[in-house]
Structure 1
Amino acid sequence: MFQRYQLHRPTDLSLPYPYLYHCTQLAIALVSSCAVALAVGQSSLAAFISPQRSQQGMVVSAHPQASDAGLTMLRQGGNAVDAAVATAFVLSVVEPFSAGIGGGGFLLFHAGKTGKTTALDFREQAPQLATRNMFLDEQGRVRPQASVDGHLAVAVPGTVAGLYEVHRRYGQLPWSKVVNPAIQLAQGGFEITPRFVGSAAARKAVILRNSAARQVFTRDGVFYKVGDRLVQRDLAKTLQAIAQDPQAFYRGWIAAAIARDMAKNGGLITAKDLQLYRPTWRTPICGPFRQYQVCSMPPPSSGGVHLLEILNIVGDADLKSWGWHSPDALHLLASAMQIAYADRAVFLGDPKFVQVPVKALTSRAYAATRRQEIPPRQARSSKVVKAVDPAVLKRFKTTAESDDTTHLTVVDPARNAVSLTFTVNGPFGAGVVAPGTGILLNNEMDDFAIAPGIPNLYGLVGNDANAVAPGKIPLSSMTPTIVTERGKLRLAVGSPGGSTIITTVLQIILNVLVYDMDAGAAISASRIHHQWLPDELRVEPWGLDAATLKDLRQRGYQIQERSPWGNANLIVVAPNGQLQGAADPRGEGAARGL
């Protein structure tokens, strides 16, 4: 199998998310975990954090300083959008390895007054010079690392356009005010964290090869250590220009610097690509799950389609009586994941280029037919599990179809909510910084199917629907999600994690809505993941007891214990109206209550 990054053992401290670091974080809450574990019937010990609580507002993100910036906006009279934009810009400064203004993403906004949820797509796009076979050699073989490292891997960024667009429509505070906290952190610097050091170690070679990246992220070729202060003067200058005029990124000196660097180093992005970029408002994918309404991102994200597909396959199964993480419950979840990811590989892509059968894939009638395929106590090989025949799928079409990563969630006093996921794709993106700008650029071209059956950075395979094409948006797994109950906000959730995003969000939703966990327990609980190919069931090594693992192996599952994954964050509205916020203990994030 073609692999883009060297795989490491879980104890390898060069991982972006070191296993021992996660265990330390998870062990902090051992005492409080016991009571919650007993309450949900968990047989193995896991650490559940306690949520932050507030009656007013909540900001949760992957970094404490980003959450602080969002909370400051709420205190100054801003709404959820103001807080989300400020938080996102700060994340671009303090977590350039996972997300930033050189990338793109998706956002859901829920209006507390009207109950309406809208979706904004500011995902990166392929340059106009992109071609279907651009990552293949003359013999049709994949050129190693070409879609991951360097200028050719970069797609046209959308983050600045997206943040400005949502703020233009819904924000209350001045644009310059919400950008200012990021400017201050870029100018004054911030302390390097273990996640930063781990991610840099994993991408050491590519960072050193790019002179501008080396200048920003090292001291004369020596990487920063935990506790060192990183100052990014060029990025501060760029953010100041964006605060004055966000179009500077797409038409001003920033755009010129990016285009010039691309032309010099074999990249494809031109000044025209940047001028033409526009974010897109889309109708979110919404569907019922029991008494709740679940809304998430439509294509070109696969997140919403397959989140609803899996929830529909689960249906009314009495997971709670089976027991949290019981073998029967895990078997149903893993089998549903396997089916959804098989469908993903065939049918999902940019709806501007391919017809995506959204209504069919998310119909409960279709889910019922796929549920019948699942043997009660036996795993199925991925050679047996296939995407449904397109001719069969047409029976379920009831209406015509319309043509490393980070996450943050915000809820304000008016119960407006934002769920926002954005990314530069792999750790430190393409390892490319446009000279003079401080902007680390994405390697999002790798999210296309660069050749049929060839897995991307996260092991996902694709086909013609997700082939490279000029102006096309690569398929994503990002799944920012908002759940309502009788029209009122119930929770907002999302996570980074590449191919694991959909299943991470799925399990957190089930933990809250089915197993009645609070936000801290729901986000801390151990996870499983099956993505069809490779044919394996991934489990977190601390999450399942020996008897459960033995049972799953006897059913035929190929168990792979992996370092804890995901860095989710979650805000839950409790029955008494109180907000509960929790950041994933697998990461370094924080929840801040107003």
Structure 2
Amino acid sequence: MVASQEALATQVGVEILKQGGNAVDASVAVGFALAVTLPRAGNLGGGGFMLLHRAENNTQVAIDYREMAPGKAHRDMFLGDDGEADPVLSRQHGLAVGVPGTVAGMIAALEKYGTMSLPQVLAPAIKLAKEGIVVTPDLANSLNGLKSRLGKWPSTKVIFYKPDGSSYKAGERLIQLDLAQTLTRIAKQGQAGFYKGETAKRIAAAVQQAGGVMTEVDLANYKVVERTPVNGEYHGYQVVSMPPPSSGGIHIIQMLNTLSHFPLKEYGANGAKSIHVMAESMRRAYADRSLYLGDPDFVDVPVAALTSQAYAKQLADSINPLKASRSDDIHPGKLAPYESDQTTHYSVVDRWGNAVSNTYTLNFSYGSGLVAAGTGVLLNNEMDDFSAKPGTPNGFGLIGGKANAVEAGKRPLSSMSPTIVLKDGQAYLVTGSPGGSRIITTTLQVILNVLDHDMNIAEATAASRVHHQWWPDELRVEKSINPDTKALLEAMGHKVKVKSSMGSTQSIMRTEQGLMGASDPRRMGSATLGY
């Protein structure tokens, strides 16, 4: 079964499974297909995380293919003449582009854990790019809505808009020949087809022409890292998620540990008491995120301390069950010892029980908006995920500190949280989401809906969502939250803000009747399919 944010890519993954491929083969095929069919988030020019459950020996693997800072990157590169962070430099400029990791990550996963060849899994994406895709209403709306930002780059405008400058309409065909050629080079040459030679030369040139510092050497030096997943236990289930430089896995487990001290089942799904204690656990986790989280190859992240039951009890004891905290009064915990919205997620489970939970991104919708001329590759603006200046919020309002400061070769902190819940050694729930800073809390709530509130995966996906990230000091809720519940939360002292929907989870759940999957109804064009 495959659950992804774009129906054509889901079909590609299912066809690979039908041909005898395993979950990794299918996930790599989906990843490359999404670069064609969902250009605002699917990508070759970004990066992400893949979490793998191997059924044959009940082991889990975390593959980190997050972008890296170029060799000439430095701590103050995004500060203006006034010494303050300049968001233009970190979001809409060549300096915003981190060294892409997606191609290397997909190839590394396939070579070590897949069963098919690179040309086999790339063939569907090459065909879609070469022959074109029918523009969906979702793609038409996003391209038209971002015309001013994307259209300022001639190399981008020539691909995603018509020769007269007008937008593609739903039902028309979008052909991406440059991207097809890039994919073909990868199929023939492997990693060298992207990180060396013609493609690398064009990417480096595009970044430098836009004012950036990335070089061909930076691309050639990119490395994928295989890491040990973070693990937790909740109500007898094993929760496995992504370790740093993802902040998601640690804080999902931290919040689950904290919430295990409250009777959520008794409180009821999305009741005022449930939302209150969830918000308080979120507030404390995001405060810790601001101080302790960063690239573990550069800073010591206190994983064991943050995910310990003792620390969770301390946090739970600090929560007043009847009154909201003030973020001014919440600070990162004293631990000893010190150790995009436009992202997309997909989940795959194969006939043998192997499972892949993969989240990858360009950061903002269409990343920096810059296509490297002649490659068809949209480039990320992931450098904005570093702390441009300690205490200054990034594009998602997240505050970071020195642990996530810019440094050459470093990977920026991420909220991406691909997660697998195991029951009796088998993949029970495979889930994840896009959503910038809200990825962590969205993924948490799907898990709680299933494990605490006994929802099936469709119910767990559709249920209303809330979010608190310490600063700004507000409890964000979706419009569907009951008005009486909002009033009760406000009476407790929460600053409730009703905002747009959160996340786009793509989930698969094992049941007694077999695999059941659900794509989030909050985004158009997604699909979950089995066979």
Q: Give 1:7-156 correspondences, 5 Å limit.
A: 58-156=1-99
Moved more, 314-323 or 405-414: 314-323
Give the paired residue count. 526
Match of 1:224 in 2: 168
Is the 8 Å Cα contact of residues 150 and 431 (structure 1) preserved in structure 2? no
Q: Does 1:357 align with 2:295?
A: no
Instruction: Please give the alpha-carbon distance, in whole angstroms, between the structure 2 residues aligned to 1:162 and 1:482.
Output: 19
Counterpart amino acid of 2:185? A
Match of 1:585 in 2: 521
Match of 1:292 in 2: 237
Gaps of 5+ in 1: 1-57
The runs of at least 4 consecutive aligned structure 1 residues that moved more than 6 Å come to: none
Q: Does 1:234 align with 2:178?
A: yes
Secondary structure of the residue aligned to 2:240 is: strand
Match of 1:427 in 2: 365
Instruction: Please give the alpha-carbon distance, in whole angstroms, between the structure 1 residues aligned to 2:240 and 2:405.
Output: 27
Deviation readout 1:35-69 (Å, 9 max, x if unpaired) = xxxxxxxxxxxxxxxxxxxxxxx111001100000
Match of 1:189 in 2: 132
Counterpart amino acid of 1:111? R
Instruction: Please give the alpha-carbon distance, in whole angstroms, between the structure 1 residues aligned to 2:80 and 2:209.
Output: 21
Instruction: Please give the alpha-carbon distance, in whole angstroms, between the structure 1 residues aligned to 2:400 and 2:389.
Output: 8
Q: Does 1:388 align with 2:326?
A: no
Identify the match of residue 499 of structure 2 among 543, 562, 571. Answer: 562
Q: Give 1:414-453 correspondences, 5 Å limit.
A: 414-453=352-391
Match of 2:485 in 1: 548
Deviation readout 1:472-517 (Å, 9 max, x if unpaired) = 0000000000111121221110101000000000000111111111
Instruction: Please give the alpha-carbon distance, in whole angstroms, between the structure 2 residues aligned to 1:362 and 1:202.
Output: 41
Is the 8 Å Cα contact of residues 420 and 431 (structure 2) preserved in structure 1? yes
Secondary structure of the residue aligned to 1:147 is: helix
Is the 8 Å Cα contact of residues 97 and 207 (structure 2) preserved in structure 1? no
Deviation readout 1:271-295 (Å, 9 max, x if unpaired) = 1000100110000001111201100
Counterpart amino acid of 2:500? S
Deviation readout 1:432-475 (Å, 9 max, x if unpaired) = 10010000000000000111211111111101111101000000
Deviation readout 1:60-101 (Å, 9 max, x if unpaired) = 100110000000001101010111111111111011111200
User: For the aligned residues, what is the CA RMSD?
Assistant: 1.2
Match of 1:509 in 2: 447
CA gap 1:174/1:300 in 2 versus in 1, 3 angstroms: same
Is the 8 Å Cα contact of residues 265 and 452 (structure 2) preserved in structure 1? yes
Secondary structure of the residue aligned to 1:108 is: strand
Counterpart amino acid of 2:279? A
Match of 1:50 in 2: none
Match of 2:476 in 1: 538
Gaps of 5+ in 2: none
- Identity, % of aligned positions: 46
Deviation readout 1:180-222 (Å, 9 max, x if unpaired) = 1111111111122233234334432221111100111111322
Counterpart amino acid of 1:548? T
Match of 2:189 in 1: 245
Moved more, 199-208 or 102-111: 199-208
Match of 1:29 in 2: none
Deviation readout 1:215-270 (Å, 9 max, x if unpaired) = 11111322222222211010011111111122210112101111122233321110
Secondary structure of the residue aligned to 2:103 is: helix
Match of 1:488 in 2: 426
With structure 2 as the length reference, what TM-score do the two structures score? 0.97
Moved more, 139-148 or 340-349: 139-148
Is the 8 Å Cα contact of residues 476 and 496 (structure 2) preserved in structure 1? yes
Identify the match of residue 413 of structure 2 among 475, 479, 494. Answer: 475
Counterpart amino acid of 2:310? A
- The offset of 1:405, in angstroms, is 0.7
Is the 8 Å Cα contact of residues 112 and 414 (structure 1) preserved in structure 2? yes
Deviation readout 1:286-308 (Å, 9 max, x if unpaired) = 11112011000000000111000
Is the 8 Å Cα contact of residues 13 and 26 (structure 2) preserved in structure 1? yes
Secondary structure of the residue aligned to 1:222 is: coil
Is the 8 Å Cα contact of residues 132 and 176 (structure 2) preserved in structure 1? yes
Counterpart amino acid of 1:118? V
- The offset of 1:577, in angstroms, is 5.7
Match of 1:55 in 2: none
CA gap 1:525/1:209 in 2 versus in 1, 3 angstroms: same
Instruction: Please give the alpha-carbon distance, in whole angstroms, between the structure 1 residues aligned to 2:446 and 2:53.
Output: 19
Counterpart amino acid of 1:133? D
Q: Give 1:285-434 correspondences, 5 Å limit.
A: 285-389=230-334, 393-394=335-336, 404-434=342-372
Match of 1:15 in 2: none
With structure 1 as the length reference, what TM-score do the two structures score? 0.87
Instruction: Please give the alpha-carbon distance, in whole angstroms, between the structure 1 residues aligned to 2:249 and 2:86.
Output: 32
Instruction: Please give the alpha-carbon distance, in whole angstroms, between the structure 1 residues aligned to 2:137 and 2:41.
Output: 13
Is the 8 Å Cα contact of residues 290 and 316 (structure 1) preserved in structure 2? no
Identify the match of residue 208 of structure 2 among 263, 286, 301. Answer: 263
Is the 8 Å Cα contact of residues 190 and 231 (structure 1) preserved in structure 2? yes
Match of 1:278 in 2: 223
Is the 8 Å Cα contact of residues 573 and 580 (structure 1) preserved in structure 2? yes
Instruction: Please give the alpha-carbon distance, in whole angstroms, between the structure 1 residues aligned to 2:453 and 2:51.
Output: 25
- The offset of 1:316, in angstroms, is 4.3
- The offset of 1:112, in angstroms, is 1.1
Instruction: Please give the alpha-carbon distance, in whole angstroms, between the structure 1 residues aligned to 2:301 and 2:285.
Output: 14
Instruction: Please give the alpha-carbon distance, in whole angstroms, between the structure 1 residues aligned to 2:320 and 2:462.
Output: 30
- The offset of 1:376, in angstroms, is 1.4
Moved more, 523-532 or 312-321: 312-321
Secondary structure of the residue aligned to 1:77 is: coil
Is the 8 Å Cα contact of residues 244 and 295 (structure 2) preserved in structure 1? yes
Secondary structure of the residue aligned to 2:151 is: helix
Is the 8 Å Cα contact of residues 199 and 428 (structure 1) preserved in structure 2? no
Counterpart amino acid of 1:331? H
CA gap 1:194/1:382 in 2 versus in 1, 3 angstroms: farther
Instruction: Please give the alpha-carbon distance, in whole angstroms, between the structure 1 residues aligned to 2:316 and 2:137.
Output: 43
Counterpart amino acid of 2:521? P
Q: Does 1:466 align with 2:411?
A: no
Counterpart amino acid of 1:313? T
Moved more, 156-165 or 172-181: 172-181
